[in-house]
Amino acid sequence: MKKISTIFAFVVAMMAFSTQIHAQGMDPQAMIQRQVDRMTTELSLSKEQVAKVEPLIEARMNKMMEFREKSMEREEMMAEMKKVNDAQAEQFKAILTPEQFEKYKTMQSQPRQGGPPRN
């Protein structure tokens, strides 16, 4: 049950984020840069880490946009995004220090400003 509510919260957050982005006229590249900037600041990423993290964030964003364009059923999209997010977390684990990864997990579990928690 907890997994379902976590996935549901993630999808709701992504939908709210998507709506907010369209309202603000942000393009995917701007969203990617905002995520990279936030991680760089909050996790004190080195330039080498940024170079490794940025393509992962871009790939995740591209997948999300692909799923949205396919007009996937909510449950299917939630399941696919969960796979993408889990894979990305594993990749981050290999790039970040243990301390940075713990901060990253904390960032992901905290509610965004004006929205539900991610993950």
pLDDT tens digits, 91-119:
999 999 999 999 999 988 876 654 444 54
Quote the pLDDT of residue 115.
Answer: 47
Measured in degrees and rounded to the nearest 5, phi and psi for residue 4 equal -65, -45
Q: What is the spatial distance between Cα 99 and Cα 78, in angstroms, rounded to a whole number?
A: 28
Quote the pLDDT of residue 112.
Answer: 60
Instruction: For the chain, list residues with pLDDT below 50.
Output: 21, 23, 114-117, 119
